[in-house]
Amino acid sequence: MIGDRLRPRWWMLVAVTLVGCVTLEPFPPPPGIEVAPVISAFVASPDVVDAGGAVTLSWSVSGAASLRIEPGGVDVTGLDEVTVFPGSTTTFTLVALNGAGHSTSETTVSVQGVVDPELPVISTFDPVTLVNPGLSNTLRWVVQGAERLTLFGPGVEGGVDVTGETAWGPSSALPPGAVFRLVATNVHGSVEAMTFASREVATFSVLVAGQSNAQGVNVSASEALAAIAAQPGVRMLGNDYVWKAAYEPLDDCIDQVDEVSADYRGGSCSSFATSNTSGVSFGVSLGNNVSAVTRGEVLLIPSARGGSSANAWRPPSDPYRTDRLFGSAANRARLAAVEQGAPLGHVYADASFGAVAWFQGETDTSDIDQTDRYYARTDAVFDGFQQVLGAPIILAQLSRRGPTGASDDPDGAKRNLLYQRVREMQRRMAAGALMLDGEPSSEAEARRHLVVTHDLPLADGDGRHLSADAQIELGRRFSLAIREHLLGQSVDGTGPRLVGVEKASLTVVRVRADRGITAPASSGASAYSGYFAVFSSGKQIPVSGIQRDPNDARVVLITLGESVGGAVEVRYMPPAGALGEVAADVIRSLTCSEPMPGTSLCLPMPAFGVATDAETASTLRFFEQFDDLDRE
């Protein structure tokens, strides 16, 4: 049934006759002009049913942003049919809407006959709105005259006795279109009703924020246009504040409005577009992947600026002040709520929701003092986004560090140690980090989720920016995190997480993950691509072998080259140096339903640990030029 506004008498039917009408196909609109949606079919079948039988309403619609059925006003966006049980002659109206207007089509169902009045009556059986954060995920009903109630559906295929109950909550997330059947029985017989799980998301908004890896810096702007195309329904708010079909480079500079986020500072837009400073971000890939599973619209809101530090993103007293990075981003997100009815948070109830996709931190490795304040500064930024926008945060852990070109650190090894300090802070910011010192302690942290990048290739000749292919994969990883943590879907959107490190003996250390992990390609000291190092009392301990525990697929066994009586620290860090292709031999989920396209590789474990070897913290200074916004 399609909502609590459907009347009880709809369940009492013997036969149905149908009369349908549809909206005619209009002439094609001029190019670039949006027109009202077109309903090419709206029918009901079968046209004759026995008492208590079902009628399926089905339709074919193009150009609609949302769909609903009247009476009842029930959202059926993303569906192409629904089952109803009318108890009296009813005219159903399908309403299709988009930004240009609406179209309607009607189908009348004539009901003949009367059901035994002694049978139970199912007055309402509400459809469940799935998985939207903050919204009900509970089936509810009102029934009179039943001695027994039985519910059938996903997770309760054999039926569950709900006699005396008025609601039931699924124990796990459900797919769109999942059908439940409620059977009410008394001594006179049984009647039943059906309801469906409505689609998850009408519109999903994503604020793409951070620095150059969020902007996308890898290929020329012209090459970016050809790298990946947005699917229909994936739109963007350009830096010119105009809504348009999304494209890469997502963060282009054409007609830039907010100069605070302009990436051609000191130059011009024409030089910016031709100097390989804007390419493929993860934005369009993220949008395509989310739209594919929600069957809804995705709005991308670019606001990143290359070279910006966490301090440059600190929230101003006026959170919508557009001459500050935070305010510029928040203002654009507010436009999505006001102009598109698509807020990142949930202040507009069940209309839509979204997230902040954050990739930042490279600039904060320019100086040890900057690095050590990264956690507090970024935490304040995240708190600001969550308070002002009501938005969850999906953050990317820093990638591999390639050559710096500096005479004192040509291969980037020293800089990589500061990268690692930031990686560990980012890991600890995220829910599900399973930190060594305990679980996340605040509700805000529970709405922050981490995606991993250290196994992805860098752009050619570049020491810090992901390649175009890597960004496309990163967009998929962001979408997996969104699907698991925000849409509640049964996918591996997290990858394995560290549970703890313990000494099994004087020469063996156990590293435990929260799930089964892949075995290394070899059992030597450099297994898992040389990521592991062990320290005790500030001294690096030699390692003679690394393997997955043959008795527990969740555990890595590290055999030390010497006995260690004291405590140990373990670091799992990508080595410095350019990476031209995906690093396959890292710790990954042992199994997953959606591996990387063209491979069998699942999501990797985040880098963890901050221990350094012979380098002292005071030597890790590079003093790059900061913008004025970074100064306190």
**Greater pLDDT, 346 or 452:** 452
In the structure, what pLDDT confidence band is assigned to residue 174 with cuts at 50, 70 and 90? low
Q: What is the DSSP letter of 608?
A: B
Numbers of helices and strands, H then E, in the chain:
9, 30
The residue ranking higher by pLDDT, 429 or 128, is 429
Helix residue ranges per DSSP H, 430-543? 468-485
Give the span between the Cα atoms of 372 and 375, in whole angstroms. Answer: 7
Contact 191, 121 (CB under 8 A): yes
Global confidence as pTM: 0.71
Mean pLDDT over 118-128 rounds to: 77
Q: Choose the weakest-confidence range: 125-134, 208-217, 294-303.
A: 125-134
Instruction: Please give the average per-residue pLDDT across 320-326, as a whole number.
Output: 95
Residue 376 is predicted with a pLDDT of 94
- Highest mean predicted confidence (pLDDT) among 293-297, 351-355, 546-550: 546-550
Query: Predicted confidence band at 262 (pLDDT cuts at 50, 70, 90)?
Result: confident
Instruction: Report the share of the chain in percent with pLDDT over 70.
Output: 77
Cis bond leading into 319, ω under 30°?
A: no
- pLDDT at residue 414, rounded to an integer: 87
Q: Could you give phi then psi for residue 604, rounded to 5 degrees?
A: -90, 165
- Mean pLDDT for 121-136 is 57
Kindly report which listed range (171-180, 265-274, 328-337, 423-432) carries the lowest average pLDDT score.
265-274
- Write out pLDDT tens, residues 491-535: 899 999 999 999 999 999 999 999 999 999 988 999 999 999 999
Q: What is the mean pLDDT of the chain?
A: 81
Q: Closest Cα to residue 286, out of 340, 245, 228?
A: 228
Angle at alpha carbon of residue 211, lines to 395 and 208, rounded to 5° = 55
pLDDT of residue 207 exceeding 90, the answer is: yes
CB 77 within 8 A of CB 202: yes
Which among 205, 272, 274 has a CA at the least distance from the CA of 243?
205
Render pLDDT for 147-158 as a digit per residue (tens, 0 to 9): 999 998 877 888
Structural domains of the chain, ranges and CATH numbers in brackets: 1-114 (2.60.40), 116-200 (2.60.40), 203-495 (3.40.50.1110)
Q: What is the pLDDT of residues 592-621, one digit of tens each?
A: 999 999 999 999 999 999 876 545 556 676
pLDDT of residue 273: 47
pLDDT of res. 196:
66
Query: What pLDDT, in 10s, does the model give residues 344-402?
Result: 774 333 444 789 999 999 999 988 888 989 999 999 999 999 888 888 899 999 999 98
- Check whether 301 has a pLDDT greater than 80: yes
